[in-house]
Each structure stands twice: as structure tokens, then as C-alpha cells.
Structure 1
Amino acid sequence: MTSNTRSPQDIRQALLARAELALVDVREEAPYAQGHPLFAVNIPLSKLEIEVFARIPRRDTAVTLYDNGEGLAQRAAERLQALGYSDVALLSGGLEGWAKAGGELFIDVNVPSKAFGELVESQRHTPSLAAEEVQALLDQQADMVVLDARRFDEYQTMSIPGSVSVPGAELVLRARELAPDPSTRIIVNCAGRTRSIIGTQSLVNAGLPNPISALRNGTIGWTLAGQALEHGQARQFGDVSATTLEQARADAQRVAARAGVATASLADYQRWGQEPQRTTYLFDVRTPAEYEAGHLPQARSTPGGQLVQETDHYASVRGARLVLVDDDGVRANMTGSWLAQLGWEVCVLEPVAASAFSERGPWQPPVPAPSAFEAIEVETLVQWQAQGQVQVLDFTSSAQYVARHIPGAWWLLRSQLRQGLAAIPSAERYVLTCGSSLLARYAVAEVEALTGKPVFVLRGGTTAWLDAGQPVEQGETRLAVPRTDRYQRPYEGTNAPVAAMQAYLDWEYGLVEQLGRDGTHGFTVI
């Protein structure tokens, strides 16, 4: 049991000194989004093992954990110490202690990036057009292109009519190809505000000659104006010419230099990886498809626009060093320019030989070895269900469970096992699953201890069940605990209430003032 504590003042002093620290909220995402310190990252106790090694890679990092009186932080501390983390402490008084000490509380998720975006707009007066103005231009068939800076899957869900998917880090590389005439107007949009602002200001900083504007308030503003969105679109950027690439590279390198981004060799990165007391992340900012076709060993796939938007999720040690890699000299430099303004030490890798991109396939998170467990095949589970006296426990995300799950399976969170099992009829044996069973295998010993019954893991998880052609259920059929694992974002999907969308915009407008009250951000705007 850890008795080490750090005070809110200790954390504040470390932030102002730009020392390395990881301030971790171990609650689920929904309560985290209701209030947390600016630089607190969310690593729920329920998913600790499958996230922490990637997000806090150095085991002697100063890690400070907190909850809001639920007792989760102490359990998380014991678990981290068992995983080899040697400098783990609890935040004195938890979240309440932070607030009582005068610490500012921020709602929502990815707040540092969103607050920074508002700061950029306030200082640079990033040009924007209201939804009604953009609709009028579309109606007039004006010479313009609308570039959607979100992830492609978000674009497919809903998009501005006629827009093209160009995720944020791709904008400076692709925009000249999509709007070769300098008189063509460029509109950049996202769902709300941040990626529209950062994308538009990226093009302005890069010196494109076109008239450039953000779609003010993104698809939220579009919806609030009563205008129609498209759904299921697939328009994407294409290749760029050698001339466009050369110009984009020069633009990006100039912007990165202004922001203080350094360059580094592959040998530098490898040497840094051996340094004590210093955390270095290696992020590949190209598209996921490019990453999977070939990438540097140890590099994590973090498309640049999302890395700027969700920096806290990928680099959870504030004060760490970020090393970025691409194969064009554009995307890493533009991404780096924003991360440097966000207060990070950033280096872009010098060009490396194509042969160095030797790894193939999607990124695989580093995870600790689970305790011993016995896996069963889909056929065995089918037989056991036919015989009765088996309960299937599903530890996937609640959204994935609702979308489809094994008939009869119960959804629950590892952090709430005792409460969840109390709501589930007992059985002679239990089978655990999730999407792949990666997370489920870490729950075996806990379920055995709480039930006193044999516990098994479904090999390959629910994915294997689906691949075998077995039937599935949909909906909230068996929720053993409330769905607190995911904060309902008012800018995602197509069914957000109008009041929630407007409240979200109102909150974003107030972020610059809240940053000033907090006083720890260290952001600069070039």
C-alpha cells in the first residue's frame, strides 16, 4: 500500500518548471470529463494494463494518481507498483483536494489542445466564416473548396456538402493540389472549433496565397443554422506533384523553425531512449495506411492532426520529449510546430532510408504479461451455453457492446467487478471476452477470487465469435454497471441535442479566460 502523496502545489510547481510528470485520473472517462486539472490525463483503472506502458513508458516517471473518493487511485497505485513503476504517489485530497487548494477544474476531454486552439484564434484572429456565409457561397457555386480536417471516419459520419476529407496534418501537404488557383477560396472545417482553427492557421502560417477561412463552429454551427449535412461520403485527397511537395516542404520547415522545432537523427533518438530521468516518444504522423505499409520499429501511429488534438492521450507524461517522423518533410514539421507551441520539446527526424521503415502492420501496444489463464474456443462456448450454467462477461467498450455482442453476455467494467457481479446471476463457470480478449485476460484472477468458480477466456474474443459466423445481439441488453466508460461528446454522431451543442460552444468560448486563471499552461503562439 502506497502512503506517498504529492500536494496540488507540488504538481503546480513541477508544471511551471516543465519537469516530467504524469498526473493521472483513474476514473472512467465520463466522470473525468465532468471536471479535472488541465494537464490530468485519463487512464481508467479498468484499462490500466493495456494503456499505461505506451502512455507512461519510463518506469521511474513521477506518477501521481487521483480519483474523487471512490478508492480507485489506491488500487491503481498498487497495480502500477506491481508493474514496476517506482515513483507512484497519490494526489493529496484527490480531486476535491485540488479544488480546495484553488486548482482550476476543466470539463470535457483533450482540454489542453482545445484551450490552445481558442488561444490561437484570440491572438492570431484566425479568419472564419459563419455557416450561413458558407452555405451562401455553395449556393452561388463560388470558386471554393471545403476541406474537412477530422479523421476520415468522422467525415464519413457527417460532412459539409461537397467537402473533401483532408485530416489536419495533411492540409499543408495537400491544399495546393486541391486549390491550385490562388484565387480559390479554402474553407477548413471540423466538428466544432479546434481542428478548424488549427487547420486554417496552419495554411495561413504556411503562406498559402488563397483566401482561407475556418467554418466557424464546424458541423455543430452548421447544424445549429438548420443546414443539411451529407452522410456516408468518401471524397479524399489524392497524390501531390513533385512541385507541390517541394513547396509544401519548404513552407513546413520554415514554420517549424519559427516554432523552435529541432531536428534529430535516428541515432539521436536511439541514444535518448537509453537516458534515465527522461521520457522520449516516437510518433509516426503519416496516415494509418502508410504506417501499416512500413514504419520504424517502436514508432506509434499517431496521425498528426489527431496528435495535436489528443496529445494528452498519446503523450501522457507532461514535459517529455516528442520525436516525430514522416517520409516527406511536411507533416512532421507542421505537427511539430503546433506541439512546440503547446509547450513540448519537439524534434523531427531527419530523412531516413526507406529500408528503415521495416515494420509492417498496425501498431501493437506494449502490455504486461497477464497471469496464467485457460483459453477456450468458440465451439466450446457454444456447447456450454447450450448446457446452461455459464455466464459470459464482456469487458469491451460499452459502445462496442451495444453495437454487437455474444447473446447472453453481460457488460461490465473491471474497476467495478464486485458491483457488476452482484447484479449478474451466479453460474458454475465464467467466460471472459472483449474485442480480442486482450483486456479480458487481465480480469481472470479477480473474477476467480470474487466468484470462487472456474474462469476461462474466449480465445480471440468476440471477434473470433463473429468470424465463426455465430449470432449476435445488439443494444443495452445486459448492463451490469452504468455506461461511464465513454463521455458523450456533443460534436460526434448525428443525434446530439441542440442544447448540448450550444453549451459546448459556449464552454469553448470561455477557455482562454480559464487558462488565465489556471496559469500553468506554458503555451506560446507564433
Structure 2
Amino acid sequence: MTIHAYPVLSAATVREKLLARNEIALIDVREEDPYAQEHPLWASNFPLSRLELQAWRRIPRRDTTIVVYGEDELEDLAPRAAQILSGLGYTRVFILEGGLEGWRAAGGEIFRDVNVPSKSFGEWVEHHKDTPSLSAEEVKKRLESDTDTIVLDARRFDEYQTMNIPGSISVPGAELVLRARALAPNPSTPIIVNCAGRTRSIIGTQSLVNAGLPNPIAALRNGTIGWTLAGYELETGANRKFPDNIDRQALELAQADARRVADAAGVRHITIDSLPQLQEKGRTTYLIDVRTPEEYKNGHLAGFINVPGGQLVQETDHTAPVRGARIVLADLDGVRANMSASWLAQMGWETFVIEPADPEDFTVKGETSNPAPEPGKTQEISASQLQEILNADENENYLIFDFTTSVNYLKRHIPGARFALRSHIGRLVAAQPADKKFIFTCGSSQLARFAANDAQAHTSSPIFVLNGGTQAWIDAGLPLEHGPSHLASPAIDRYRRPYEGTDAPASAMQAYLDWEFGLVEQLNRDGTHFFNVL
């Protein structure tokens, strides 16, 4: 059975592959918000709008089994996505039979939110390990009565700066075992670990417990959400970070602890010379440097991308969407890779750590590259030419479509530009009068070029791409608009997390917590997780 010349796989077959632990990438090509509303546990979000920009990095092996689904409000996006993936060189592309409804009809479990494998794993860990935690009221009382108590925020630094527990210190998840002894050298000093919700609080706390730190350790139950629901104020704009220097004794203790935990979890250790043999034909192998972006930029192993360990454990579905793949981690301290690997192994991943890590091998400079195909030739105009058009009498003959993220569009955009999703471009241009001319932009113009090539199939009108994108307009000092002034597409490319920012309704925060509490029961019903905690 085929759909638009692409073979289909049934929900039952996909489930069989997950249970057999075969390599498979189940991808949802809708935008992030509809994806977050409902999807299978192991479905990863690959919005059709940005598929070419993500596929090669996130699914590195071209003969990976890829199963696609995704119906938006007007069409089934899966055939278009399958065509793009085939054009990118993927040779085993299937469409999920019946799409999401087919999965549901076959009895497949449906999950909400984003990063669900990691979040459900966090709940699984707390359920099985009884991870120690304290309520916001208890933590507040301790902070007021015990000046030795420290609060370590396990999120990314930018999240910490948005809002944090007053007085807390930013120590992203993978840094905790490496840095905690320096921050709390007295073994009687209580350590509280928090995030915005639950997952990174639980994993961070259990990391310190597993590593055997002697301090009293507990998670702030429900994170900044719990703090806010208790009626307490959060701090904003803080810049307290972990110290860079670690004394030799503390480092050696952390190394021994991390290696012990990794060994117990079944993590294997390999030399850099044996890596080519591990990357055998027919297996996907993700190579990940789990240090900070600054360390990675200053020198890393060839072929390794950068995902700090705490975020890797938090966002496995984004970084490693091929379930059943191998994951190889690297650092230069013997702590962060081992601790991160211990969690991945407990989540069911075949996990390795490079050991020993020789600084002389970390020679590649710069940030993680993002391989993507060339979008094809387009007609271009400069920012000054666009300004002349907007100032001319015939400016009403032109329509500007902006394909940046809705978050960026709301912050700033060219006056009159309409926010558009690339996946909607066919219907958007086809709906316009024949005499209209189009100008496409985005932050850099990369996505706008892909959109321009898509649009040519739906209109005979001229289409121009702003050279350098909206950033070129900004660099020229030209005027900007702000806010949702012209939304040609709904802003569904971004799911608003109930735990981000400081203005989420209390009801949404509580609903999110209630959802997390129910994840263990959902995992039991789904049965494809292979979680196995120490």
C-alpha cells in the first residue's frame, strides 16, 4: 500500500520496531504547538517549515528508517515531508498509516507537551528512587533560618536569568557533580536543586545522590512553579554562576564518583582511535561534546556537536531522534560525560564515553556546524531597494512575507511584513490577486529562499528575497514594527511552556504539574520506554 508513491508503515509495525529496539525515527512534521498537544512518546518534532535545516544533523545516516506523519488544519503534510526527505538523500522514508489518528485507533498512547521522553523519565526516576524533595514552604523557611543552605539552579543560564529562586546559583545539570563540592565544601551544608518544573530538579538531585555527596540534598519540589504557586517572589536578571576553578582533590573525587555511576549504569568507554570501528555501517552514532559552549568553541573533537549534558538529558528527543541509535559523549574532565552517559544508559540508550580524553585531540575550533542543502537560486533585492519600494506610490502592489520564528517576528519586523509559516506558503500566495508581487524575508534569508522556491509552484507573480534577510534591514538602521501586527499564519511554531517566563496563569502551572504526575502511569500503558534506573 502506498500514499503518493511513498510506502506506509502501520502503527503496529512501528511499535514492533520500538520494542525490538531497531533504529527508527518517528517524526511529526507539524509545527511545535500542535505537536505539543498530542503525539506518540518517541515522536520527534521536525516542522515541515524547517525540515531541510534540521534533517542532516538530527538524522545523520541516510538509510535510517524514517516514519513521517503530520496533518495540519487543511492538509496532510506527510507526503510533502517525505518528498523533501527523499530529495535530501534518505532512502527509507515511510508514511505512518492513518497518521496520528491511525496511531490512536491502534491503541497507541498519546502524550502532551515537549521533551516528553526526558520528562517522563524524570518522573520514573523519582517514582522508583524516591528522590528527596522539599516544598517551596520548607525551602523558604530553611533559607530564612539557615544561611549555609545553597540553592543550585540546574537550568541553562539564560533560563536562570529569566527568573530564579532568590540567592540561587546557576549550575546547569551536567555541572552539578563537577562543581557542587566547591560550592558546598562543608559536608553538612544542605544543597537544594531546582529547575522551572520538575525534571531537571529530580535528575540534578539524584545525580548528586548517586555520586555519593555527603551533604543533605533535596530537590525544590515543582521548581519555580511551586515557588510561584506558594506566593513567593522570584528574582530576575541574576548572574551568579558556578566557579570555573576546581581544586585537584575535589576534581579527583568527582571523577571517581562519576566513573562509578557510569559503570553501574552500563556505560562503555572507548578510545578516540576505536571510534571509527564503532561507527559501523548500518548504525546511527551521535557524537556529542557535553561541555559548555565556551569550552567547545575553544577546541573540540572532530565530528562532535555541542549539547551541554544537562540539556542533552532534558532534550533527548531533539538531539537524538533516532531511537535505537548509539550515543558517544566526550569531555575533558571525566565527570560531565560520565554523569550524562549514566542517565542516557538508564533511558535505554547504548551509550559510550571517550576515555582517555586527550586535550591534544580537541583541535577543532568554533561552534557546532549545521549542514543543510542549498535552497536554490532566487531573485534578490537589497535592503535599500526594499526601502525605495516601500516609499514608492506603488508599494501596495507588493506583499512582504516574513518566515522567521513568531518569537522573533513579535520582537521586530519590517513595517508591513506578514508573519508566515513556510508550510502555508502555497495557500498564502495562491490566495493573493494576480497583480501582487512578493518579497520574502527571515532573519538571515536562508529560510526565505526555500520558501521562494516552494512558492513558484503556486504563482506566476514575481518573488524576491531580501538579501541578508531582516538582519540586513536592521543593520541599515531602517525602521521596525513590533508585536503581532500582521499574522498571515497563526503563531503555532512555538509552544508556550507553562514553566517559562513569569506571566503564566496559575491554573496553567498547576495543570502542567498534574500532567507530569500522570506520566508514570502513561509510561506503563505505553510500554516502549525501556527505562531502567539504578
Query: What is the match of residue 99 of structure 2?
Result: 94
Aligned partner of residue 443 in structure 1, secondary structure: helix
Cα shift at 1:391: 2.5
Residue 64 of structure 2: which of 61, 73, 85 is its match? 61
Deviation at 1:316, TM superposition (A): 0.8
| Counterpart selection for 1:495 from 497, 503, 524 | 503
- Contact 2:375/2:446 (CA < 8 Å) preserved in 1? no
How far off is 1:352 after superposition?
3.5
What's the secondary structure of 1:4's corresponding residue? strand
- Checking the alignment, whether the CA contact within 8 Å between 1:413 and 1:420 is kept in structure 2 is no
* Pairing 1:392-407 to 2, within 5 Å after superposition: 392-407=400-415
Contact kept, 8 Å, 1:173 with 1:331, in 2: the verdict is yes
Moved more, 164-173 or 133-142: 133-142
Q: d(CA) in 2 for partners of 1:354 and 1:405?
A: 44
The percentage of aligned residue pairs carrying the same residue is 60
Equivalent-residue separation in structure 2 for 1:106 and 1:203 (angstroms):
29
Work out the CA distance in 2 between the residues paired with 1:510 and 1:333. 30
Structure-1 residue corresponding to 2:490: 482
* Alignment counterpart, residue 24 of structure 1, candidates 15, 23, 27: 27
Q: Structure 2: how far apart are the matches of 1:148 and 1:354? A: 29
When normalised by structure 1's length, the TM-score is: 0.97
Rate the CA distance shift 1:245–1:71 in 2: closer, same or farther, 3 A. same
- Map of 2:270 onto structure 1: 264
Query: Counterpart in 1 of 2:8?
Result: 5
Distance 1:412 1:424, change over 3 A: farther
Measure the CA separation in 2 of the matches of 1:356 and 1:454: 51
Amino acid at match of 1:52: A
The amino acid that maps onto 1:232 is G
Contact 1:391-1:426 within 8 A present in 2 as well: no
Does the Cα contact within 8 Å between 1:145 and 1:186 map onto a contact in 2? yes
- Give the secondary structure class of the aligned counterpart of 1:463: helix
Distance 1:292 1:313 in 2: 21
Question: What are the Cα deviations for residues 203-230 of structure 1, in whole angstroms up to 9, with x where unaligned?
Answer: 0000000000000000000000000100
One-letter code aligned to 1:59: R
Which of residues 462, 475, 478 is equivalent to 2:470? 462
Shift of 1:78: 1.1
CA–CA separation in structure 1 for the residues paired with 2:262 and 2:5: 43
TM-aligned CA deviation for residue 292 of structure 1: 1.6
1:303 to 287, 303, 308: 308
1:350 aligned partner: 355
Structure 2: distance between partners of 1:479 and 1:174 = 46
Aligned residue number for residue 160 of structure 1: 165
Match of 2:234 in 1: 229
Alignment partner for residue 72 of structure 1, among 77, 84, 105? 77
**What amino acid does structure 2 have at the position aligned with 1:502?**
Q
How far, CA to CA, are the matches of 2:61 and 2:19 in structure 1?
21
The alpha-carbon deviation at position 91 of structure 1 amounts to 0.8
Q: Please tell me the residue identity of whatever aligns with 1:330.
A: V
Cα distance in 2 for residues equivalent to 1:332 and 1:457:
43
CA drift of 1:435 comes to 1.6
Matched, 1:332 2:337: yes
Partner of residue 514, structure 1 = 522
Give CA-to-partner distance per residue, 1:394-415, whole Å, 9 cap, x none: 1111011101112221111111
Cα distance 1:495–1:419, how it changes in 2: closer, same or farther (>3 A)?
farther
2:394 is equivalent to residue 386 of structure 1: no
Normalised to the residue count of structure 2, the TM-score between the two structures is 0.96
**1:182-193 correspondence to structure 2 within 5 Å:** 182-193=187-198
How far off its partner does 1:422 sit?
Answer: 5.6
| CA shift for structure 1 position 428 | 4.8
CA contact (8 A) 1:406 1:473 kept: yes
Alpha-carbon distance, 1:426 to partner: 6.8
8 Å contact 1:286–1:303 — kept in the other structure?
Answer: yes
Could you list the runs of 5+ residues in structure 2 that have no partner in the other structure? none
SS at match of 2:6: coil
CA contact (8 A) 2:332 2:358 kept: no
d(CA) in 2 for partners of 1:102, 1:40: 16
Number of the residue aligned with 1:435: 443
Asked whether the equivalents of residues 375 and 453 of structure 2 are also in contact (C-alpha less than 8 Å), the reply is: no
Kindly state the Cα deviation for residue 57 of structure 1 after the two structures are TM-superposed: 0.9
Alignment of 1:313 onto 2:318 = yes
The equivalent of 1:81 in structure 2 is 86
Which segment drifts farther, 337-346 or 469-478? 469-478
Partner amino acid, structure 1, of 2:111? F
After TM superposition, give the deviation of residue 58 of structure 1 in Å. 0.7
Structure 1 window deviating more from structure 2 (460-469 vs 246-255): it is 460-469
What is aligned with 2:375?
370
- The CA deviation at 1:427 is 6.2
Letter in 2 for 1:520: T
2:47 to 37, 44, 48: 44
Tell me by how many angstroms 1:425 deviates.
7.0
Bigger shift: residues 210-219 or 29-38: 29-38
Question: Quick one: structure 1 residues 376 and 265, their matched pair in 2 at CA, closer, same or farther if it must change by over 3 Å?
Answer: farther
- CA RMSD of superposed structures (Å): 1.5
Report the equivalent of 1:504. 512
Check the 8 A contact 1:411/1:481 in 2, yes or no. yes
Counterpart CA distance in 1 for 2:210 and 2:409 is 43
Deviating more after overlay: 468-477 vs 19-28: 468-477
Q: Does 1:249 align with 2:255?
A: yes
Amino acid at match of 2:264: R
Deviation at 1:137, TM superposition (A): 1.0
What is the CA deviation profile of residues 201-257 of structure 1, one whole-angstrom value per residue up to 9, with x for unaligned ones? 000000000000000000000000000100011100112122211111111111100
| Structure 1 CA distance for aligned equivalents of residues 303 and 471 of structure 2 | 26
Matched AA of 2:65: A
> SS in structure 2 opposite 1:477?
coil
Q: Distance in 1 between matches of 2:390 and 2:363?
A: 44
Larger mean CA deviation between 456-465 and 11-20 belongs to: 456-465
Aligned residues: 525
CA–CA distance in structure 1, aligned partners of residues 206 and 324 of structure 2: 25
| Contact 1:2–1:77 (8 Å) recurs in 2 | no
Which of 430, 453, 459 is the equivalent residue of 2:461? 453
Given that 1:279 and 1:317 are in contact with CA atoms closer than 8 Å, whether structure 2 keeps it comes out as yes
Q: Match for residue 147 of structure 1?
A: 152
Q: Please give the alpha-carbon distance, in whole angstroms, between the structure 2 residues aligned to 1:437 and 1:81.
A: 24
